[in-house]
Amino acid sequence: MDEKTSLSWQYLLIPAVFMGFLVLYPQISLWVSKGSLWNGSYVVSNYDETAYSAYINSLADGKPRTNDPFIAVDDTGHESLYSVQFIPAYLIALPTRWFGLSTSTAFILLGVLSAVLSSLVLSWFLFSFTEQPLLSSAGALIVLCFGTAAALQGELARMVSGNVLIDFFPFVRRYQPGLAFPLFFVFSWLFWKSLSVDDKKRAVAYSVLAGLILAVLVFSYFYLWTAAAAWALCAGVAALFFRKDAQGRTILSSVVVGSIAGPSLIPYWLMLSNRAPELDRVQLLESTHSPVLFAPPLILGLLGLLVIGIGSVRGKLGVRKHKVLLAMSLFATPIVLFNQQVVTGRSLQPVHYEVFIANYLVLVAFVLLVSEWARESSALAKKLLTYAAVGAVVWGFIEAAGSASFNATASEIRDGSVPAVAAIEEMRSRDDAAPQRPVVLATNFITSDIIPTLSTFRPLWNAHTSSAGGVSPEENKRLFYHFLYFSGYSGKDLAEALNAHSFETTAAIFGSNRALPELGSAQAIKPAEIRDEVQKFEAFTQNFSAKDAEDPRIDYLIVPEKGEANFTNIDKWYQRDAGHPTDLFTVFRLTPKN
């Protein structure tokens, strides 16, 4: 390795070091807070991470691919979005099992690994087109640290409106899209090289590899592979229109990629055709032809195209240049992603494009445009790029620290839940009459949500009970009613939670799309609807029977050690043992009275 190449790699390693630290920062905060009392939990920085860790835990335990860890069913006979997108799941679950790791430990390592790999790949991607190591290093930090803000989420949203859908660094959400995120840019590099290389054999080789990567993405994450396909379409059209001398190579590369990746869609659609009957409703698949015009990445993409257009007219930018043409295709991709439903008539939570990929694409495109004007040879350029990198790291720390602070209480509760679940495992192992996969009622949302990650037990209800399509929204609501009833909630408590817009409560009663309108188009919840649902719950509690009490039968109860738990409804139908105190909770073995 010559001195220049070595220096380039040193620059490209810088983002990996910083992003690895920033992603680990919330976990470090928990370690510092708990000290030697840390129970081994991982810090959840995104709402759905507990659902993914639950599925990984079930696979690591040897359960089949089509299992549903939220209702403790080993084989549902149907596919879910977890089972269809199986490649990253098994890449995590198998090493977890082989090395005897806990799922929490695997997720701590996975966060750092995803951050480092994404940083290295993105830095290399930028360097391969700009050949400017400092700009590529600074650019990678800018893209990854400002990606959340580019979607108008995270700390920027918290400062401006206080309404935050997602914070921290969405690209590193475990395990979707975290593990597969770098592959998007590997695919993009391979496909673009196939369009721009002069040698036909090398073009075919690049195309074959690109097709294989796209096939892997198909079984990795829906929003990545569809975004990759949309970008490839934009890139191919741009090359055909602006590089007419290379039209034959563009057609050849597109055909090869399609021929390699296309067959993967056959088993993919066969698996989807066997999806759980309730999955479409649970995942909020909508039939619509309405365009989306105001998604932040789309607006940034249009702005980028405007800059290219003005620069081209004024002779400042040559649209035939590879970097400019690549930037153009990246800017255009959000237009396709957010408006494909105009043609297809189907829309599946497009907000995921906003936060997980489109925001990063437009930032990469802006960095490529800047490289057309910036030259690292000047002292001023070096200084400005260094300042930009420092600014990105500072903002990244603001994102990391803000997320750590916002999730601190939940992280403490989650860590305190570990000994409680472990106590149930110990109690169950000593009790020959205990079921292999007991039903556990934890009277707080956080503990209930982490139970399938820490064990193979079934929570009576948690926020992800219906996410695999194993239960209908109606059955999910019934189980939620059970959760409220046995936790001691009254109709007044339910009304207060709904009026306060508690997401878990509102989603269980009215559906995720109405609890969080960003997930799909839905009408606002009216006060009359809240009153009606409260009356239904009160009627449910008044007509509660012994049959209801054991559908399903509850085997263990977890309640906070501090504070007075309401055992009125539990004690009406179940006999509690003396109780087993743990870190933050007390665990009871329950036996039906009837």
Q: What is the pLDDT of residues 526-564, one digit of tens each?
A: 999 999 999 999 999 999 999 999 999 999 999 998 877
Going by DSSP bridges, is the β-strand pair 458-459/285-287 parallel, antiparallel, or unpaired? unpaired
Strand (E) or helix (H) holding 347: strand 346-348
Least confident of 71-75, 93-97, 286-290: 286-290
Residue for token pair 């009392």: 37
pLDDT averaged over every residue in the chain: 91
Measured distance CA(245)–CA(264) in Å, rounded:
32
The pLDDT value recorded for residue 147 is 97
The packing angle between helices 296-313 and 133-150, to 10°, is: 140
Tokens of 159: 């400062």
The pLDDT value recorded for residue 373 is 79
The pLDDT value recorded for residue 5 is 54
Tokens of 218: 């198909």
Tokens of 7: 């220096």
| Range 272-280 average pLDDT | 85
Question: Which ranges in 445-545 belong to alpha helices (H)?
Answer: 445-454, 473-487, 491-499, 503-510, 512-515, 527-542
The pLDDT value recorded for residue 3 is 45
Identify the three-state secondary structure at position 497.
helix
Identify the three-state secondary structure at position 471.
coil
Omega cis (within 30) before 552: yes
What does the DSSP 8-state code read for residue 442?
Answer: E
For residue 432, how many C-alpha atoms fall within 13 Å in the half-sphere facing its CB?
0
Q: Tell me how long the chain is.
A: 594
pLDDT higher than threshold 80 for residue 316: no
pLDDT higher than threshold 90 for residue 162: no
Measured distance CA(156)–CA(364) in Å, rounded:
20
Asked if residue 572 lies in contact with residue 542, where contact means CB atoms within 8 angstroms, the answer is: no
What does the DSSP 8-state code read for residue 287?
Answer: E
Question: At 490, is the pLDDT very low, low, confident or very high (cuts 50, 70, 90)?
Answer: very high
Report which of 483, 75, 513, 54 is spatially closest to residue 282, judged by C-alpha positions: 513
Measured distance CA(313)–CA(551) in Å, rounded:
70
Residue for token pair 């494909």: 340
pLDDT higher than threshold 60 for residue 7: no
pLDDT higher than threshold 90 for residue 153: yes
17-46 pLDDT, tens digit each:
999 999 999 999 999 999 999 999 999 999
Report which of 464, 486, 458 is spatially closest to residue 548, judged by C-alpha positions: 486
Tokens of 275: 């999806």
The pLDDT value recorded for residue 193 is 93
Question: At 521, is the pLDDT very low, low, confident or very high (cuts 50, 70, 90)?
Answer: low
| Range 511-522 average pLDDT | 71
Measured distance CA(42)–CA(45) in Å, rounded:
9
Going by DSSP bridges, is the β-strand pair 458-459/439-442 parallel, antiparallel, or unpaired? parallel
CA distances (Å), 503 to each of 259, 474, 517, in order? 44, 17, 11
Tokens of 178: 């975290």
Report which of 355, 362, 312 is spatially closest to residue 333, judged by C-alpha positions: 362
Measured distance CA(77)–CA(7) in Å, rounded:
54
- Residue 248 has φ and ψ, to the nearest 5°, of -65, -45
201-236 pLDDT, tens digit each:
999 999 999 999 999 999 999 999 999 999 999 999
The packing angle between helices 491-499 and 503-510, to 10°, is: 100
